[in-house]
Structure 1
Amino acid sequence: MAKFMTPVIQDNPSGWGPCAVPEQFRDMPYQPFSKGDRLGKVADWTGATYQDKRYTNKYSSQFGGGSQYAYFHEEDESSFQLVDTARTQKTAYQRNRMRFAQRNLRRDKDRRNMLQFNLQILPKSAKQKERERIRLQKKFQKQFGVRQKWDQKSQKPRDSSVEVRSDWEVKEEMDFPQLMKMRYLEVSEPQDIECCGALEYYDKAFDRITTRSEKPLRSIKRIFHTVTTTDDPVIRKLAKTQGNVFATDAILATLMSCTRSVYSWDIVVQRVGSKLFFDKRDNSDFVTLCCMVSDHGKERYNFPNPNPFVEDDMDKNEIASVAYRYRRWKLGDDIDLIVRCEHDGVMTGANGEVSFINIKTLNEWDSRVSRHLRHPPGDATSLFPAVPVSTG
């Protein structure tokens, strides 16, 4: 007679249900499973990319994923470091790269559609319409193919002013938005250290010039000196006793307006001990053309010191009307700046006060032509009336 073996009863006085795990299932992860679940892939990383949302959870379990497969980081985080994830400004090539790629894709798609359309057998009337469409398209491209929008600027390839070699080491690189934030909010009044040269008085008849009453500018043979910072004898003398940063007004103005630059340029920075000298290269674009708009009937306004670049054997009447004021700014952070500022003329005010001015010119714009000032006609060779800018 078969014996009846009584099973082992697990007593759980504080609750209900089994309180122990069988030895054969100990230390094994438990995953609930339903016989109604569909069998799918072991690992599916494309499930979230289904276009139809009905199939997103097609093979998922009705119990959901358990926490036994979760990842727990147990490594030492003493060597944890923060990583800068700030987005850097993309270059113009990177910004337009996706745009060009999309345009190429559309062009290839149009070509495939056109090729497929040409392979179709069309009736006689459809062929006639297609030939007429192609003829009108060629006519339209011939008439308007080279035109652009009124506000679309043509892209002109511009070469770099200096060739960057591969063996150069980049010390620091700054983009335009960073340079826009670099400014001194409070700058003290400048101090005149030395004034040199002689100036001619400005002819106020140029202020009354209009498009109807023109006055041509006379090109007079004068000698203009374009001396860089380190070749200036006055700056060399001042560098022995005062100042630690030296530059000219043209170089300093170029640095201050560099965020609006279109053409490539570069400057040379020389360190001599603890002093910095900002120089321009030979045959650079820092020098502008000059025209005489002064009144030759009056005597010149002479500064206490003569022009430092005029030699003894030069004719004083052939020297251009230019004066130099060596001014000093203390910008803080132990920056003692000395700048050579130039003046083109002098003007007397209504009360007899004397004002030193810089004179600039602009290309003439014909108002009768329906175009913007930034897109002047190609035959604009004359000049606007000189615009004096007072500099104190």
Structure 2
Amino acid sequence: MAKFVAPVIQDNLHGWGPCAVPEQFKDMPYQPFSKGDRLGKVADWTGATYQDKRYTNKYSSQFGGGSQYAYFHEEDETSFQLVDTAKTQKTAYQRNRMRFAQRNLRRDKDRRNMMQFNLQTLAKSAKQKERDRMRLQKKFQKQFGVRQKWDQKSQAQLKPRDSSVEVRSDWEVKEEMDFPRLMKMRYMEVADPSDIECCGALEYYDKAFDRITTRNEKTLKSIKRIFHTVTTTDDPVIRKVDQTVYTVN
């Protein structure tokens, strides 16, 4: 029959845990740790010095560092030496020499600052002159472009036009008058005019469009229309009426 050896049971009557510390763990410093701690580097000689503050406590222990492995420097008075911290009195020659050196440094610094200021002023004035020149150049180019565009437009609009009334050679001159005399003339009473031709249509204009505000809105309607931009001579209605011969009394 097999023999069963019962293990040694440590009964602690005054608390929890073992009653005595094993010999191999006796007088060994204990460092608390957590199984959830993150491992940083294998050998981190810099400790917890991270440039990014977000990662300062990333790899630190949840229980905090103990003082088991802390190093305490014991005071050693064997190599103690008394140091005299009193200021040594300088001679007049040393004081004047230091004063002259400081004055020369200050004068050189002021000279460099003045030269730098002059260079900056010259650079600013040159930049300002260049900026003014570019602005005037753009202004002249704009004016020249508008003038050239207007000249091209006026030349494009120039076209030979025929007179609306053709003067015939067999006409008899009744009377000639200039414009000032014509302005002073009294108009004779003539009969009521009559319509020769009725063309086109005049639509109603809604005056509500003149009172449109942010509170009083009105929807605009898109109307597809063709606008004929023709002169009086090229108008087909005028050409139709022109075919009829009228007499002028």
Q: Same fold (TM over 0.5)?
A: no
Identify, as 1 or 2, the structure richer in helix.
2
Q: Between the two structures, name the one with larger relative contact order (CA 8 Å, sep ≥ 6).
A: 1
The structure with the larger Rg is 2
Q: TM-score, normalised by structure 2?
A: 0.30
Identify, as 1 or 2, the structure richer in strand.
1
